Amino acid sequence: MMRRGTAANEELINRANYLLDGAAMTDVQLQAYRTFHLIIQSGLIVAGTVLVVAVFGLNEVFKSGLAAGGLWYTAWISRQVMTRLRIVIATSTDDVNYWHRKLICLENELPETQRYFTEFKIEQKLKKSDPNYIETLRNVFMQQRQIEESDANRLIERGSGHLRYMLEEEMLRLISFLWNFFIVISVIDMAYLIANRVF
């Protein structure tokens, strides 16, 4: 790689700072959406838990039916919120990935020893990939060759972070399971009350 003049270095640093600012801004927005989603879901689960207790605590079909109806409606609201906010979160994730991709490509213009963000993204992969894959990534991103945005996708592809996977997949699956459990046990209780004619 050729040495750059001071003006070229300053221009490169300015571009990198711009990309870092863009990445930081969109990442803060993404985390805000995730936090907002989890707060709403937590509140709805608390309401659902209260309604499940009411379904079982009220020993009359009419009163339990009202509580069960409230539970089912709350579950529906949770599902609607989940569906809509997943789209918002996915779009925001794409925005963050855009800035990361641009930053990785920009760092490719720096000497290998100064590609800090690229090295960080490779290290993120280290925990869940085999050593041969990591070595392949190092050969692609830490050598003196021009990389493309399609190469950068290998470092920022969906599921690249354990926390991202946990929040976007496992947590939402758990919330869906919990709502399904609430609905099933409320239906069983209602069926029991009707079968025993507890009006």
Long-range CB pairs of 171-175 (<8 Å, 24+ gap) are 171/38, 172/82, 172/86, 175/41, 175/45, 175/78, 175/82
Give the residue ranges of DSSP H helices in 108-170: 116-126, 131-141, 149-156, 162-165
Which pLDDT value is given to residue 27?
94
DSSP 30-70: HHHHHHHHHHHHHHHHHHHHHHHHHHHH--SHHHHHHHHHH
Are 46 and 182 in contact, with CB atoms under 8 Å apart?
no
Query: Residue ranges of the domains in the chain?
Result: 6-195
Query: 81 by DSSP, 3-state: which?
Result: helix
Per-residue pLDDT reduced to its tens digit, 35-73: 999 999 999 999 999 999 999 998 888 999 999 999 999
For 123-137, b/e burial (b = at least 16 CB within 10 A) is eebeeeeeeeeeeeb
- Which residues of the chain fall below pLDDT 50? 1-3
Which pLDDT value is given to residue 60?
87
Are 146 and 108 in contact, with CB atoms under 8 Å apart?
yes
Which pLDDT value is given to residue 1?
40
Which pLDDT value is given to residue 4?
53
Distance CA 23, CA 25 (A): 6
